[in-house]
């Protein structure tokens, strides 16, 4: 008879051999030591080279004409929006199921985030909800590839084109994701990525902006480097901040990028194995398979959980039991962004022009995101880097909890 680990029984996922994350790949120490000993730690100077190398290699990997490496994913979004000339009082559509930087980057320019509901099957912005959110002040959208699962470009792009709106792809989770054979990041006007240490391409911190537009790229180079251009150190052509990446980050990320394609293949293989394992468990499911997604990047692996099918076992109690069985899991973004304390109407009104139309965020009710926040169970991407046998043991843990659910209700 099963005995739950919460009740002293053996863990069902003892075989889940998750590697440490972030990893220190071959070459990382050598690269970083090269920077240390070179005494060229900042890319401003002529003998700096590692950030240049990383930009070139990441642009090549993501099929982008231009890449601008920056300090982190948050400032990548801010630079992207400035590249697109977002002005105080402009409105930018954003999804409410994402990290706060997707929306706070908008307010950092004294513009107004307007939240658009998400599709509860994919967690990404619902294209059918976009038109209803557009006003005469709307200039564009920041869309997110949540957990590395891409937005539905086929449905979304025609809507944005109808209203002449730009698209910034927040691809913080999606290093290596493809839609119809094209890497994400340049399908919209500008793409941004994060290299914070929890990401699948980890540099501790770091970010990058990619685009195929020569004019936007030239502006991005100015904006991320205090308005400098042409190698000038004390001549500034625009008022801008310093968002540069350090040479240490560039060196580390070059080594990490060497590993990413093979790691994503392992994750994809193990994702399929895990899908097989949970396929026979009623009312717990992964995001839909889609033939238009031709390659996947990963940050999280998401499951939708229906407590009604587990004898009324709550999502939080299920996660507690799953953790006890040896599977790291959590709730992900547990509340919509418009319910975050930072997104009070008064807070945003203090940042934007007096004539801006700021939504009553606390009064919003978007059913798609509220369903996702209440039902999602997430696992970090490194779970998918375990052995296949270890990944399949996650299915053993889920089935065990399902059988024993009445004991936990």
Of 62, 66, 82, 244, the active-site residue reads: 244
Provide Rg for the chain, Cα atoms: 22
Helix (H, G, I), strand (E, B) or coil at 330: strand
The token duo for 61 is: 């990997």
Of 114, 173, 392, 400, the active-site residue reads: 173
Q: What residues contact residue 153 under an 8 Å CB cut-off, 6+ apart?
A: 179, 180, 187
Helix (H, G, I), strand (E, B) or coil at 21: coil
Is 244 among the residues known to form the active site? Answer: yes
Of 54, 58, 97, 99, the active-site residue reads: 99
Of 228, 296, 381, 400, the active-site residue reads: 228
Of 90, 170, 302, 396, the active-site residue reads: 170
Of 47, 234, 291, 308, the active-site residue reads: 234
Helix (H, G, I), strand (E, B) or coil at 358: coil
Q: What residues contact residue 257 under an 8 Å CB cut-off, 6+ apart?
A: 54, 57, 58, 61, 201
Of 196, 221, 249, 256, the active-site residue reads: 196
Is 99 among the residues known to form the active site? Answer: yes
Q: What share of the chain is helix, strand, coil (3-state, %, to 5)?
A: 40, 15, 40
- 39: burial class by Cβ within 10 Å (0-12, 13-18, 19+)? exposed
Is 196 among the residues known to form the active site? Answer: yes
Cα(123)–Cα(140) distance, integer angstroms: 20
Q: What is the length of the chain?
A: 409
- 279: burial class by Cβ within 10 Å (0-12, 13-18, 19+)? exposed
Of 43, 145, 199, 219, the active-site residue reads: 199
Is residue 141 within 8 A of residue 168, CB to CB? The reply is yes
Among 349, 247, 334, residue whose Cα is nearest residue 31: 247
Active site amino acids: 99, 170, 173, 196, 199, 228, 234, 244
């Amino acid at each position: 008879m099963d005995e739950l680990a919460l009740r002293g029984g053996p863990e069902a996922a003892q075989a889940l051999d998750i590697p440490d994350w972030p990893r220190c790949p071959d070459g990382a120490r050598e690269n970083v030591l090269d920077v240390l000993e070179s005494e060229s730690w900042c890319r401003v100077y002529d003998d700096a080279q590692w950030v240049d190398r990383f930009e070139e290699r990441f642009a090549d990997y993501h099929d982008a004409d231009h890449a601008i490496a920056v300090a982190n994913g948050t400032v990548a979004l801010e630079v992207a929006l400035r590249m697109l000339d977002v002005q105080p009082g402009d409105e930018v559509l954003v999804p409410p199921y994402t990290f706060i930087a997707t929306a706070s980057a908008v307010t950092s320019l004294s513009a107004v985030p307007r939240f658009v509901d998400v599709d509860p099957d994919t967690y990404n912005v619902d294209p059918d909800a976009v038109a209803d959110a557009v006003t005469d002040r709307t200039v564009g959208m920041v869309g997110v590839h949540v957990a590395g699962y891409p937005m539905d470009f086929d449905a979304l792009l025609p809507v944005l084109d109808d209203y002449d709106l730009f698209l910034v792809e927040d691809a913080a989770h999606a290093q290596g994701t493809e839609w119809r054979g094209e890497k994400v990041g340049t399908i919209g006007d500008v793409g941004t990525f994060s290299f914070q240490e929890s990401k699948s391409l980890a540099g501790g911190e770091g970010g990058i902006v990619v685009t195929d537009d020569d004019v936007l790229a030239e502006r991005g180079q100015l904006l991320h480097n205090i308005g400098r251009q042409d190698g000038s150190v004390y001549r500034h052509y625009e008022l801008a901040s310093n968002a540069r990446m350090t040479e240490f980050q560039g060196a580390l990320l070059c080594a990490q990028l060497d590993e990413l394609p093979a790691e994503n293949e392992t994750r994809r293989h193990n994702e399929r194995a895990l899908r097989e394992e949970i396929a026979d468990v009623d009312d717990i499911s992964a995001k839909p398979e889609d033939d238009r997604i031709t390659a996947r990047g990963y940050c999280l692996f998401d499951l939708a959980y229906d407590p009604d099918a587990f004898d009324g076992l709550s999502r939080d109690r299920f996660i507690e039991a799953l953790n006890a069985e040896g599977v790291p899991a959590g709730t992900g973004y547990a509340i919509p962004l418009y319910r975050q304390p930072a997104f009070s109407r008064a807070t945003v009104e203090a940042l934007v022009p007096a004539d801006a139309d700021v939504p009553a965020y606390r009064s919003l009710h978007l059913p798609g995101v509220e369903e996702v926040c209440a039902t999602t169970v997430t696992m970090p991407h490194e779970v998918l880097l375990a052995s296949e046998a270890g990944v399949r043991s996650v299915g053993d843990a889920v089935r065990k909890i399902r059988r024993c659910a009445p004991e936990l209700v």
